[in-house]
């Protein structure tokens, strides 16, 4: 496993990844990715599911490692804003504070955790250390909405609510930022969505995707920015409907 550290001196430069709504079609974008994380749930309201990792080998997707049990938002999934637009349908859509995890296709852009960068040499993604002053802003009226920011470097602390990234437990000890509602950011469409360590098995989140410590460690040791990793997160039936059109890995549920 490569030992490369990408530590950021300044926190708050995110999100910065281009969204497919402003770029090429989804299939073309996904063709440039050779790492895919697939999370599926039984239906829109289910709060538990499974995570599978895939690597592209020539033209085929091959699963890497075993499937991992995960939990999602306390009210299930809702279409989010990433490399796909929320469709015009009766399906639920992700909004700020609704307790849903975003459904769709999203880039996995950087990692975060409590340890210093030189203590996580196995992580290849860009990495942010979560200190006491690092927060993810969920105030829809803030200029920093949906951005992880060190309040000490903010030109103006204009937010009234945020996620403290250095928590009193281990939930954010290791995590990955999901590029949901970025580039552009729509106030109220949802913010601060991560993959991180669960509170306990079966305990849903407020809108993130969580798993065991071992699960997140394996994921972070595998993700490589050179492979343009993406997350596909969908209910099983929707995944079946999109599998051919989006050229997703075939899964037997």
190 torsion bin: left (phi>0), alpha (psi -120 to 50), beta (else): left
Domain count, the chain: 1
- Kindly state whether residue 252 falls inside one of the protein's structural domains: no
- Kindly state whether residue 253 falls inside one of the protein's structural domains: no
- Kindly state whether residue 54 falls inside one of the protein's structural domains: yes
The whole domain housing 29 covers 6-85+101-242
Which of 27-31, 147-151, 159-163, 198-202 has the least mean pLDDT?
A: 27-31
Q: Considering the chain, what percentage of its residues have pLDDT values greater than 70?
A: 91
- Kindly state whether residue 176 falls inside one of the protein's structural domains: yes
- Kindly state whether residue 93 falls inside one of the protein's structural domains: no
- Kindly state whether residue 96 falls inside one of the protein's structural domains: no
Q: Where are the beta strands (DSSP E) in the chain?
A: 6-7, 35-41, 48-57, 60-71, 77-79, 101-113, 126-129, 134-137, 148-150, 162-164, 174-178, 194-197, 209-211, 230-235
Q: Is the pTM of this model over 0.85?
A: yes
- What pLDDT is stored for residue 21 in this prediction? 43
- What pLDDT is stored for residue 183 in this prediction? 86
C-alpha span between 161 and 159 (Å, rounded) = 6
C-alpha span between 234 and 104 (Å, rounded) = 6
Pairing of strands 6-7, 126-129: parallel
Work out the average pLDDT over 147-174. Answer: 96
- Kindly state whether residue 26 falls inside one of the protein's structural domains: yes
Is 219:124 a contact under the CB 8 Å cutoff? Answer: no
- What pLDDT is stored for residue 8 in this prediction? 42
pLDDT tens for residues 223-232?
Answer: 999 999 999 9
- Kindly state whether residue 249 falls inside one of the protein's structural domains: no
pLDDT tens for residues 100-151?
Answer: 999 999 999 999 999 999 999 999 999 999 999 999 999 999 999 999 999 9
């Amino acid at each position: 496993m490569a030992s490369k550290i990408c530590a950021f001196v300044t926190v708050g430069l995110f999100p910065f990844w281009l969204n497919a709504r402003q770029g090429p079609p989804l299939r073309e974008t996904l063709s440039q990715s050779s790492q895919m994380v697939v999370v599926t749930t039984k239906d829109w309201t289910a709060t538990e599911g499974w995570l599978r990792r895939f690597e592209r080998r020539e033209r085929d997707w091959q699963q890497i490692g075993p499937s991992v049990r995960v939990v999602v938002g306390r009210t299930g999934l809702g279409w989010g804003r990433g490399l796909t637009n929320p469709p015009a349908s009766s399906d639920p859509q992700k909004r700020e504070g609704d307790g849903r995890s975003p459904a769709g296709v999203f880039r996995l852009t950087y990692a975060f955790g409590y340890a210093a960068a030189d203590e996580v040499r196995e992580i290849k993604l860009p990495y942010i250390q979560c200190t006491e002053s690092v927060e993810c802003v969920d105030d829809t009226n803030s200029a920093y909405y949906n951005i992880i920011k060190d309040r000490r470097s903010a030109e103006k602390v204009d937010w009234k609510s945020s996620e403290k990234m250095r928590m009193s437990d281990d939930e954010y000890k290791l995590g990955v930022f999901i590029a949901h509602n970025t580039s552009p950011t729509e106030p109220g469409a949802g913010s601060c969505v991560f993959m991180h360590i669960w509170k306990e098995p079966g305990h849903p989140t407020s809108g993130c995707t969580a798993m065991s410590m071992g699960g997140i460690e394996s994921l972070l040791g595998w993700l490589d920015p050179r492979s343009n990793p993406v997350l596909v997160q969908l209910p099983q039936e929707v995944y079946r409907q999109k599998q051919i059109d989006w050229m997703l890995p075939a899964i037997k549920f």
